[in-house]
Amino acid sequence: MSLHILGTGSYLPPTVATNDDLAKLVDTNDEWISTRTGIRSRHVSTDEPASVLAAKAAKAALENSGVRAEELDLILCATVSGEFIVPSMACLVQREIGATCPGFDLNGACSAFLFLMETAAAYLSTGRYQKILIVGTEQMSRILDWTDRSTCILFGDGAGAAVLEPGEDYLGSHMTVKGGEEVLRVPTHKGISPFWTAGEEHPYVYMNGSETYKFATRSIPQEVEALLSQCGVEQSQVDWVICHQANRRIIEAAARRLKGIPAEKFLMNIDHCGNCSAASVPILLDECNRKGIFHRGDLILMCAFGGGLSSTACLVRW
Ligand code: COA
């Protein structure tokens, strides 16, 4: 499929909540959080909803790409914490950045940025689209149960974006979905239907942590091994790994299984971002891009997992 990454952007809201700040809200402490997850702080939005975070990341990506908003042919967004169900996040971003093209959203939870890449690559392959903006944005703090210490310490707010054009750099992808809501879900509000008689579940993140942990540590290496064998690429040829930033221990466990890829190739920003769900992969991608870590021709392996349950991996040439 066709894809070349022209540029990236990201935005983190300025307010930082440290583990000590969270210890004032729930019965936890910095030592527990940092040793179990690798998280020391996360950004939290105080007045910018997910669409504002998205538009700021999108503008940064356009600038980094040298592309004007009017040149975009399509905008694809992903979020689980947008301020509206309608209009879509893509419609709000379109207005905020001054684009005129169509756009729509998809829901892939923490794997969403890889689903966006796959969708964009398919559209670019048709030859009908020349410039596509993809954005993952989350205000996770609005959908967390701030009395549940097992989930509220894990997530952060932010947005990441990329501008894509046709090219030969999407070397392959591998995606798996194991459908079900038992392990990880965010219920919607039950509404006020006078006819509804069944119960209500709180509209906040629910997660069975240990089941998610087991799923992630098993599925990431499986996706990566399947992807690389499909592409005919050895683990030793991978230059960098951008893995969904959910837990440092999950990434380290995956790295131990993938023995051909040295541990230092697994890039991380979880210490200061936490898990930003759909925004996690593109925020890290942009941070590394701006630090000048990637060189032309580098093979970048991206992998993610999350609610669905889903696990995904793709291989991109920089
Ligand atoms: N602070 C202090 N103690 C906490 C705590 C917190 N924030 N959260 C849970 N605990 C307690 C539990 O109540 C439990 O106490 P108990 O033994 O008295 O019952 C104890 O710590 C151990 O809990 P447990 O859930 O077994 O911890 P864990 O080592 O499995 O780590 C997670 C919990 C959430 C960090 C881990 O399961 C995880 O990372 N799961 C995957 C999460 C993930 O990737 N989510 C995103 C998916 S996209």
Average pLDDT (72-76) is 98
φ, ψ at 69 (rounded to 5°): -55, -35
pLDDT number for residue 98: 98
| Cβ neighbours of 191 (radius 10 Å) | 7
Ligand 1 center to residue 247 CA distance, Å?
A: 11
Q: Is the pLDDT of residue 31 over 90?
A: yes
Q: Which tens digits make up the pLDDT trace of 258-281? A: 999 999 999 999 999 999 999 999
Which residues does a 6 A CB cutoff place in the pocket of ligand 1?
28, 32-33, 36-37, 110, 149-150, 153-154, 207, 209-210, 212-213, 216, 246-247, 250, 275, 306
Compute the distance between CA of residue 134 and CA of residue 88 in angstroms, rounded to an integer. Answer: 13
Between the CA of 169 and the centroid of ligand 1 the distance, in Å, is 39
- Against a cut of 0.95, is the pTM above it? yes
Atom 1 of ligand 1, nearest CA residue: 28
Q: How confident is the model at residue 44 (pLDDT cuts 50, 70, 90)?
A: very high
Q: Active-site residues: which are they? A: 110, 244, 275
Query: Which one is predicted more confidently, 188 or 166?
Result: 166
Query: Whose C-alpha lies nearest to ligand 1, atom 30?
Result: 210
C-alpha dist (Å) from residue 102 to 4, 87, 93, 142, 224: 20, 13, 11, 27, 33
CA of 99 to the centre of ligand 1 (A): 43
Token code pair at residue 283: 């925020």
How would you label 56-94 residue by residue, b for 16+ Cβ within 10 Å and e otherwise? bbbbbbbebbebebebbbbbbbbbbbbeeeeebbbbbbb
* pLDDT higher than threshold 90 for residue 121: yes
Q: What is the mean pLDDT of residues 143-148?
A: 96
Q: Is it the case that residue 189 has pLDDT exceeding 90?
A: no
Q: pLDDT tens, 226-240?
A: 999 999 999 999 999
- Local confidence band at 200 (pLDDT 50, 70, 90 cut-offs): confident
Report the percentage of the chain scoring pLDDT > 90. 95
Report the separation in Å between the CA atom of 106 and the middle of ligand 1, taken as the mean of its atom positions: 29
Residues 276-297: tens digit of each pLDDT: 999 999 999 999 999 999 999 9
Provide the pLDDT confidence category of residue 21 given band limits of 50, 70 and 90: very high
